[in-house]
Structure 1
């Protein structure tokens, strides 16, 4: 769970109302303890995090963050809700970090899996200094079947970052090109990442946000790909995992 930022901020610092706050990569939600929401449908599980003294010392807004999981047949729907409990506008980013194993993984294989996109992503943004985004982009090279082979070198650039709504569905196929997973989302940015060539998994991450540009030193509300929520309002978004051939 990535909140209230996605990725890295320049010098690990955000500025809100002219004051600087330390903020490490992906924010604090992933290290926080969520409460179970007891009153929910039988086929759903919900968890919540509310602002507290610790979060307010790093992010000066009162909020409620909820995440829900609903399993329907071979589909898992994940929903986020962010409610602004403050009396001022709230600027935030939010994202997911789900990881998926490669079937029959062997580090020595030439190809671990294939990725199929609903649209040609064309280019990826690149992570540069201090984990932030540079100006240049790099082509995403698909094979003759319009797929991206995932090899030991695919993530030499760190993360594939597809911004501005370039894709809305990514399917993962095994080494025989048999699909076993699809991710559907409306998020404007998606990151695709694996920590090393020896890792038996990759992450497909829908983001309503993205890392800073290299050298950015403005207000949080001036960052690219932020969400601004008025007092009392609720932001809601979701993504869907579809498990195939299981």
Structure 2
């Protein structure tokens, strides 16, 4: 099913499959900002990543001396959520653990994904609840929204830029064959916070910034004007477009967690940037998407 929030400025649509945002449109101009999915490049639009972000070594993890399979980015993005509340400004979807999810993830949990539309901003909220009575729960969660870049037919992505709220950041790469984090970091220089999206800028894969270095990312049109901004307070953010495909979109991905490092040999409890909830504990975080035009 498709659900909708609408005000004078924006119309936003959502699917109960994965609780995924599927459209973000300017009412005045009719401009769509969200990537609409195309399997030639990437068939998704804005999936929620849970209970892992990224890939695990051998697509498996160990918890309490037992090995569990887990596909890249987890299973929530492929599951049907229930719409648990809806108003003119907000909608919330919920997902509970099932016998099927426990084959891959042995915890009783509740995951709620909420969206609030106010003026030109969509606030995305993640709420994770540990329903276990006696044990801690370990998880990661993140967003993966893709935004059109370029916006207009006939334009090239190389005319566009990305802006971050820093002029220099350290970033890491993922090995494109294994999907695992490489052990070394690189320096990305951003004069006045800006990086032109020239040909080949994504050919080596995703840019991953850790340690709360970046808290705001904008996409700039050929006039160097921001047309969309993602604001967050997550410890990590990924910037990605499919490698060597010249795809007409860019993903800005706030994360609480990431893939395993190449040399990682631990278990679920000690994954880098993982999160833990005590029995009955609640984790609630949000980020914002603002249309600037």
TM range (shorter): over 0.9
Alignment of 1:32-43 (within 5 A): 32-38=79-85, 40-43=86-89
Residue matched to 2:111: 65
Aligned to 1:148: 195
| Larger RCO (CA within 8 A; separation ≥ 6) | 1
Distance 2:249 2:132 in 1: 39
Give the match's secondary structure for 1:56.
helix
Is the deviation greater in 61-70 or in 191-200?
Answer: 191-200
Cα displacement (A) at 1:218:
1.3
Q: 8 Å contact 1:105–1:112 — kept in the other structure?
A: no
Q: Report the aligned-residue RMSD.
A: 1.5
Tell whether 2:242 aligns with 1:205. Answer: no
CA contact (8 A) 1:121 1:167 kept: no
Q: 1:100 maps to which residue?
A: 147
Say whether the 8 Å CA contact 2:59–2:72 is kept in structure 1: yes
Cα contact 1:89–1:229 (8 A) shared by 2: yes
1:87-141 Cα offsets, whole Å, 9 max, x none, are 210000000010100222557x371421111123422111125111111112213
How many residue pairs get aligned? The number is 242
Instruction: State the match for 2:125 in structure 1.
Output: 79
Which ranges of structure 2 fall in alignment gaps of 5 or more residues? Answer: 1-47
CA distance in 1, matches of 2:159, 2:242: 14
Instruction: Answer whether contact 1:121 1:162 (CA < 8 A) is retained.
Output: no
Q: Stretches of 4+ moved more than 4 A in 1?
A: none
Mark the CA change 1:115 to 1:226 in structure 2 (over 3 Å): closer, same or farther: same
Structure 1 position 4 matched with structure 2 position 33: no
* TM-score, length basis structure 1: 0.94
Partner of 1:17: 64
**Distance in 1, Cα, partners of 2:166 & 2:60:** 35
CA distance in structure 2 between the partners assigned to 1:187 and 1:168 by the alignment: 7
The answer to whether the Cα contact below 8 Å between 1:77 and 1:241 also exists between their aligned partners in 2 is yes
